[in-house]
Amino acid sequence: MRITAATAVTTAAVALVAAVTGGCGTGAGGTGPAPARTPSATGPATSAPPTAIPSAGPVTVHARSGPLGPILVDGQGRAFYLFTADRGRASTCYDDCAQGWPPVLVRGAPTAGSGVREELLGTTARRDGSRQVTYHEQPLYYFDRDKRPGDVRGQGADEHGGRWYVLGPAGNRITRPVPSGSAVP
């Protein structure tokens, strides 16, 4: 009886460990979140909310109107931000900063979508060798608390030694705050 009870406890423990660790992978051998769907080349999606910050892959940059006027977004409608602490094309947002403000990474070259000037798109190398999308020579970032298309919760935030602003299609930072009543809680 003791052997049977010990075997049952061991079997249950192994099953629990397998269940917990089985859901942690991406199916590609990594442990990070599954890549988000590929952005649409026809324009930003408005029906399905973004579920995760996209990993490196194709990136299409669009202009989309909202409470701050036209701003740059990805194919899911997620806003792009610039960081005032960056100097030129070099990103200064790493480690803890990049956890809350993930860089917009691309494999290949970014694509200009509706309302975007292709000549302003580019990339810059990060310390780890990945490529970050730039617009008008400014590295682009997501904000991890923007959950739905059109969210601009990071607008004007003062974090990690600089301010964070969305960009307009001309590459200009938009510094005005989100109008009262249109902010996402």
The string of pLDDT tens digits covering residues 144-179 is 999 999 999 999 999 999 999 999 999 999 999 998
Q: Is the pLDDT of residue 84 over 50?
A: yes
Q: Is the pLDDT of residue 15 over 90?
A: no
What's the rounded Cα separation, in Å, for the pair 155 and 145? 11
- At 32, the pLDDT band (50, 70, 90 cuts) reads very low
Cα dihedral 60→64→66→71 (10° resolution): 60
Q: Which residues contact 167 (CB under 8 A, 6 or more apart)?
A: 71, 72, 80, 81, 82, 135, 136, 138, 140, 173, 174
- At 183, the pLDDT band (50, 70, 90 cuts) reads very low
The distance of Cα 150 from the centroid of its chain, to the nearest Å, equals: 13
For residues 98 and 86, the answer to whether their CB atoms sit within 8 Å is no
Q: Which residues contact 19 (CB under 8 A, 6 or more apart)?
A: none
Note the pTM of the prediction, 2 decimals.
0.71
**Beta bridge partner(s), residue 153:** none
Mean pLDDT to the nearest integer, 41-68: 68
The residue that leads in pLDDT, 15 or 167, is 167
